[in-house]
Amino acid sequence: MRALFNWTGLVIAIGLLSACSQEKVVITPPPEPVPPPIVITPLITLENALPVAKGGRGPVGTNIDFVNSSDGIYQFILFRTTAYDSAGNIIRARKSRDHSAYLRVAGPIMPGQRSLGNAWKNTWAKHNVQCVDIDSVEIVFSDGSVEVASGQTLAKLNSTCGFDTASASTQ
């Protein structure tokens, strides 16, 4: 009987040891789904920004066409514009003598509304303006909030400046 207990104890010990030595399977949870990339929609789409000359001499104006690309109603828009000659030199604004001219449009401008023929006379002091670049656009919404459109929030179509305006020199 004693041999039976020893034999039974040995079998139980071997069973327990073999159960402890088995590898445990670890189930890892699936990775979290990657969120879709954030798509930035432009606040305003600029269709044209063109210099408007009276003639061969005298100051030059500006004409800007744009579309309200947002869901908000615009009360006012302030374009920060820079003009360049054919060599890429900055032409100073006529009134402020600053590198940029600030051109304002009064609204309301509804979502999706296309605004054509916004013209300003006598914007630039010299007659040799080759192109006009819109640097940024400050937008005042109907609720009083203000946003500045530049970079990805400012869509530019039909740009007339055929050179890198970031490296242009001042005159």
pLDDT for the residue numbered 75: 92
Q: How many CB atoms lie within 10 A of CB 47?
A: 15
Give the DSSP H or E segment for 7.
Answer: helix 2-21
* SS3 state of residue 34: coil
Instruction: Give me the amino acid identity at 140.
Output: V
Q: Is the pTM of this model over 0.75?
A: no
pLDDT for the residue numbered 171: 46
* SS3 state of residue 68: strand
Look-up of token digits 């109603």: 73
What are the 10-residue block averages of pLDDT along the chain, 171 residues in total?
A: 59 62 72 81 81 73 85 89 83 78 87 83 79 86 85 70 53 46
Q: How many CB atoms lie within 10 A of CB 77?
A: 23
DSSP state of 24: P
Contacts of 164 (CB under 8 A, 6+ apart): none
* SS3 state of residue 19: helix
DSSP lists the bridge partners of residue 99 as none
* SS3 state of residue 143: coil
138/147 Cα distance (integer angstroms): 6
